[in-house]
Homo-oligomer: A and B are copies of this chain.
Amino acid sequence: MKLQAIDASVTLKDHVYQRLREAIIDLNIYQDDTVLRLDERSLAAQLNISRTPLREALTRLQEEGFVEIRPRKGIFVCRKTREEVLEMIVAWAALESMAARLATRVASDARVAGLRRHALAHSSSSSRADLSEYSDANIRFHQMILEMSGCALLAKMADGLFAHMYAVRRRALEEGDRASRSVVDHMGIIDAIEARNADLAADLVREHTMRLHDHVAAVWQRWDTAAGAAP
């Protein structure tokens, strides 16, 4: 008889953490009049657990910048300011640029071919109305580069940033003809990696991501007034 091993390392607090994380990411907090207040007791009741594991999950979420816990005031989902978003994009550009550089050295030809295949398969959707699909494919493209670096930490750190930017990215891509420009950029990046040109690949990735940075900087001035220390 063969039995599958049971993973006893998944605890309630881990489940709760993941659930809350997904829920918060799905919120699309920006511009909505969503209630950003979380109540420990009612959350615990909803999830049918006690406050203890819930609080440990919330601690993790605070650590990652998804929520802010103000003692005896409340727990609030964080609304990133424009400056914070811009800084996240800068950090992302830094990480992915390095990833592209490494990829030119360590990525197999097969992986590069796979990247090109992915980019080609989804390039058409940029011209269609289905920008949401293109947005997902676009994120995947960047994740693939990060994975091709062979450096798991780069990918992990970038993923942490991505999580905060799902809402942002959708909106950013929907404006102007950024999508088609994006396709051109992607092809250039793939060519550089394929040619094993480390400096060029790193430069192109950085410039590509920093274009999003400049775009966000130019388009969204309203944000910096939205959040901050409430009285």
Are A11 and B71 in contact, CB atoms less than 8 angstroms apart? Answer: yes
Picked from B9, B90, B99, B154, the residue with its CB within 8 Å of the CB of A151 is: B90
Interface of A is mostly: helix
**Size range of the interface on A?**
20 to 34
Are B87 and A9 in contact, CB atoms less than 8 angstroms apart? Answer: no
A64 interfacial contact with B, CB 8 Å: yes
A168 interfacial contact with B, CB 8 Å: no
Are B87 and A154 in contact, CB atoms less than 8 angstroms apart? Answer: yes
* Closest B residue by C-beta to A93: B98
Question: How many Å from the CB of A103 to the closest CB on chain B?
Answer: 12
A88 interfacial contact with B, CB 8 Å: yes
Are B87 and A152 in contact, CB atoms less than 8 angstroms apart? Answer: yes
From A52-60, A132-140, A178-186, the one touching the partner chain is: A52-60
New A-B pairs, 11, CB < 8 Å, besides A87-B154, A90-B102, A90-B151: A11-B71, A56-B59, A59-B59, A84-B153, A90-B153, A91-B95, A91-B98, A91-B157, A94-B98, A94-B99, A95-B95
